[in-house]
Amino acid sequence: MAVVTAIAVAGLPEVGEGDDIAQMIVASGAAFGDADIIVISHKIVSKAEGRTVALADVVAGEQALELAASTEKDPRVIEVILRETAVLVRAERNVLICRTRHGFVCANAGVDASNVGTADTLVLLPREPDSSARALRARFRELAGCTPAVLIADSFGRAWRNGQQEVALGVAGLRPLEDWRGRRDGSGRELSATWIAVADQVAGAADLARAKDSREPAVVIGGLGRYVSAEDGPGAIALLRPAAEDLFG
């Protein structure tokens, strides 16, 4: 009987620029092994990587000032969002829906003002989340003598449904998708539409193991060794659907 488990890592200190997150998780005494997945909130990764912006240093440009008039946002916040944005998908009701330079479609290009230590500091998404995940995984290998998979997560809104769900921004050593299309089910019928977003479901499962205000930005997922690989694999970029192929968006 396979059991999937999700356990939050307790006792992590506040993370700042230059901090060694893998070392902090190892030092916390969290138990994990090669078949486990360590899910880490992108915010601490971004903070460790210095991907923050002090609002006081930002000067809003023309487009930001225009959008500020219609969205009630601080024009400097919009300026930062636009810098992270490849395509502005929609701008309405105080929310900008953006396709980021990475290719993620999300509110405010993933720029976040919550859970930051200093007021008026914005946290951006990691520059290359798959690279961040691979670097974290390599560091676990060095420090812990085992090589868990690493997943960097953020919470995104979705089309048509209320609430946010955690998704994978970056992964290393985790198969992001499981493709059953063309395979047969128990009765011999083709599982034509079954293509499972494993990494996003792992991110969501991890989110359930912690409370948002409990400062538990890392969660260990066990029981999913079948999705964990020795090689780092394609990364979470495999989850991004090219805009031209999108039917839902």
Among 90, 142, 145, 146, binds its own copies (CB under 8 A): 90
Residue 50, number of CB atoms within 10 A of its CB: 12
Rounded CA-CA distance 173/230 in Å is 6
Stretch that binds its own copies, among 52-60, 93-101, 128-136, 141-149 (CB under 8 A): 93-101
Closer CB to its own copies, residue 173 or residue 204? 204
Among 48, 205, 218, 228, binds its own copies (CB under 8 A): 205
Amino acid at position 186, single letter? G
Site string (108-127) toward its own copies, x via CB under 8 A: x---xxxxxx-x--------
Residue 198: which of 248, 141, 236, 230 has the closest Cα? 236
End-to-end CA distance of the chain: 39
Q: How is residue 89 annotated by DSSP?
A: E
Stretch that binds its own copies, among 47-55, 59-67, 131-139, 174-182 (CB under 8 A): 174-182
* Whole-Å CA distances, 134 to 49, 98, 222, 233: 14, 26, 19, 10
Among 36, 84, 166, 232, binds its own copies (CB under 8 A): 166
Q: Count interface residues toward its own copies (CB under 8 A).
A: 79
Among 202, 218, 232, 233, binds its own copies (CB under 8 A): 202
* 53 and 47 Cβ atoms separated by less than 8 Å: no
The number of residues in the chain equals 249
Q: Does 162 bind its own copies (CB under 8 A)?
A: yes
Q: Does 218 bind its own copies (CB under 8 A)?
A: no
Residues 39-68 binding its own copies (CB under 8 A) are none
Rounded CA-CA distance 178/187 in Å is 20
* 239 and 103 Cβ atoms separated by less than 8 Å: no
Q: Does 208 bind its own copies (CB under 8 A)?
A: yes
Among 148, 204, 233, 235, binds its own copies (CB under 8 A): 204
Residues 22-41 binding its own copies (CB under 8 A) are none
**Could you tell me the smallest distance in angstroms from the CB atom of residue 49 to its own copies?**
19
